[in-house]
Amino acid sequence: MTYKLLWADSFDKDGYLNPDIWTVETGGHGFGNNESQFYTNQEKNIFVKDQMLHIAAHKESYEHRDYTSGKISTYQKKHIKYGRIEVEAKLPKGKGTWPAIWLLGENKKEAGWPLCGEIDLIEHIGRRPGQFHFSLHSKTFNHRKNNHLTYVYEDLSLLDGFQIFSIDWDEKQISFYINNKLMATFKKSKDASVEDWPFDQPFYLIINLAIGGHWGGDIDDQIFPVELQIKSVKVYERSES
């Protein structure tokens, strides 16, 4: 399969987050996971500097939460259906951190989760350092049923610098990679319904740094501030040439 670049962001202009691509999402309702952060639009939580995006979590009281962090998405701005997605990122260390680069179906507001589908390009929780999680969630298979499609790869050294996390996605399967090394492939079954495999529709990309929660676990307050750093996001579509 060959690809051509559809869109990209290299975060190369200090102080500028491209509004044609990204929306800053705010809120602190726990997001179904009892997360401890409030996502804000404060510059200290989301900023572009030194040719990279910084999503920074801080220990501070904000509204009804004791931590702040950042979350951005391409919802209703840039959607993706099939192709290749590459994100060059440096994931944070520290107990309580829960960085995620993931996708939801563009129909989330109408269909709801999990029917809209979820693709977890990469997740990492600080209480299990060096364990990288790649997952798919659907109405039939999701973490609330503890039967979601998932794979865990362990390499502590991958936390020491920037890595390229990517997926290849087509009508038949979704494959996950780190630095172009294949981690896992999940295949669509021949008789799959939309409840089993909702991945034949447009999705939007989300990047966030959650703190604590049911999965993130206990929080080490000595780690703050702590950052998820992104050098680039590249989205490719299939090319017939």
Residues identified as active-site: 118, 123
Amino acid occupying residue 223: I
What are the residues whose beta carbons fall under 8 Å from the beta carbon of 62, sequence distance 6 or more?
Answer: 28, 38, 40, 68
CB 125 within 8 A of CB 131: yes
CB 3 within 8 A of CB 236: yes
